[in-house]
Each structure stands twice: as C-alpha cells, then as structure tokens.
C-alpha cells in the first residue's frame, strides 16, 4: 500500500474514532455530573472510565484478516456504571473492500460476577464509515460471554447471534470455547476454538493459541490463528499475530 494512502487511512481512523470516543466520554461525563449533583454529599461518582490503544501486525477477526494482512492501529473507550452496565466505542483501520477503510464498533451491555463466574451480555453495532453504500456492511450482533475461574485456570465461552451478518441477508451464530492458564502473575497462556454457523452456508471453524504478557500498563499478546477453510489464503490462512496494548 502506498505510504500516502496508508497515512490517509490512518488519519481517517483517528478522526472517526476520536469523534466516537469524544461523544461517548461527553455523555458519560454528563451522566456522572448529573448523578453527582443529585447525590449531593456523595463522595465519588458511580461512573468510571477506561480505555485502550493498541498496535498489531494484523487485525484478525474470527480467523480472517480484516486489514489484508497489514498492520492496524486501534483505540477504545468504555464508560461503566457501578451497577454493571457499560457503553463502549472501539475503532480500527480495515481493508475489506467496498472503500471500507475504517471500522467503528458501538457497544452497550451489562457485566456481573456470581462467585467464580463472570458473565457479560451485550449488543454490538459494527459500522464502516465511508464504505460504498451498496455494500451495506453495517450489522448488529447480540452476545453472551462467560468466564469461570478455577484457581489459575479460567474457562471461557461465547455465544453470539446476528440477524443480518456482515450486511448480507442471512443470520449467523458464533460459538466459542477456550481456556487460559496463569503461568505467573504476569504471564498466561491460552487457547480457543470458534464455530461460525451461517444460515446461507459457508460454516467454518477458527482456532487460536497464544501467550499474554502483562507489563503494566502494557500487555503484549502473541498468538497463532487459523481456520479450517481450505483455500482460505491469504486472508484466512494460519498466521502469527503480535499486539501491543496500552490500557488507561
């Protein structure tokens, strides 16, 4: 990709993500201020904010590269309420055709823990600003994430449903299961398998295995990902993915 075109895409990503994150932060701040004002003597706000900024050599989603095997810059912001409800915005550069150079995801959900089980339910809206209107890539997805901790082992499960996956007139389910093991306080290894069930055909499985290293406030994630799709090269073939994330 020519350097000028890559820079323009990255600039558009930053602009779109900044707008989404600014709107999210402003809304959360307004809610927090209103809650603080009504509480009067409350010593702290029930709202909290967190964010991430990351760079990766390849943005892979369910086994397939979303950047044509090129690097990606990503950023996200989350506003959470002490009750467990949260809203998020997340963005990344992409290269999926149809003039779609940017992905911005808007998320709303609820998370809670019961003993060793943590569950999250949410609604996800994937958008591609600037994409050719005829492509209709934007779509909704509803998901459930589960994590059950047993000493140093955490078992995970996912179930997601979209009534119109990736802008096509077909519904889709995604099921995944995995496990991670804390080798030390800062190092963990993990593995997972996902099942993509598409009503229009084309079902496939994706796999990943890797290691996550925490160097607060950074996390280094190194993994190998692949699919069972024959002839999926180059976007869905096996590859190593390295990601550096800064959390704040």
Q: Which segment of 29-38, 69-78, 130-139 scores lowest on mean pLDDT? A: 29-38
Model pLDDT for residues 35-48, shown as the tens digit of each residue: 444 444 445 899 99
pLDDT tens figures, 140-194: 999 999 999 999 999 999 999 999 888 666 899 999 999 999 999 999 999 999 9
pTM: 0.83
Domain span at 128: 3-247
Q: Which pLDDT value is given to residue 53?
A: 98
Tell me how many domains the chain contains: 1
181: CATH: 2.40.160.40
* pLDDT score at 186: 97
Q: What is the pLDDT of residues 189-229, one digit of tens each?
A: 999 999 999 988 889 999 999 999 999 999 999 999 999 99
Q: Please determine, for residue 29, whether its predicted confidence score (pLDDT) is greater than 50.
A: no
Q: Which two tokens stand for residue 203?
A: 């079902």
Q: In this structure, what token pair is assigned to residue 238?
A: 């096996």
First to last CA, the chain: 31
d(CA 13, CA 23): 15
């Amino acid at each position: 990709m020519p350097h000028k075109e890559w820079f323009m895409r990255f600039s558009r990503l930053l602009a779109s993500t900044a707008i989404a994150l600014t709107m999210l932060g402003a809304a959360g701040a307004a809610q927090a201020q209103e809650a603080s004002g009504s509480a009067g003597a409350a010593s702290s706000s029930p709202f909290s904010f967190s964010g991430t900024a990351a760079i990766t050599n390849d943005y892979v989603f369910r086994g397939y590269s979303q950047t044509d095997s090129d690097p990606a810059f990503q950023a996200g912001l989350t506003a959470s309420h002490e009750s467990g409800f949260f809203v998020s915005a997340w963005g990344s550069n992409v290269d999926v055709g149809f003039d779609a150079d940017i992905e911005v995801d808007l998320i709303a959900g609820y998370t809670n823990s019961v003993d060793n089980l943590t569950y999250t339910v949410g609604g996800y809206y994937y958008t591609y600003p600037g994409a050719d209107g005829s492509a209709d890539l934007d779509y909704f997805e509803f998901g459930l994430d589960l994590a059950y901790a047993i000493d140093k082992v955490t078992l995970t499960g996912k179930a997601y449903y979209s009534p119109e996956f990736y802008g096509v007139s077909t519904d889709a389910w995604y099921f995944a299961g995995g496990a991670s093991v804390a080798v030390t306080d800062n190092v963990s290894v993990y593995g997972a398998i996902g099942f993509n069930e598409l009503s229009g055909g084309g079902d496939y499985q994706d796999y990943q295995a890797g290691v996550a290293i925490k160097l607060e406030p950074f996390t280094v994630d190194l993994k190998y990902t692949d699919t069972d799709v024959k002839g999926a090269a180059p976007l869905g073939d096996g590859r190593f993915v390295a990601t550096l994330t800064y959390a704040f």
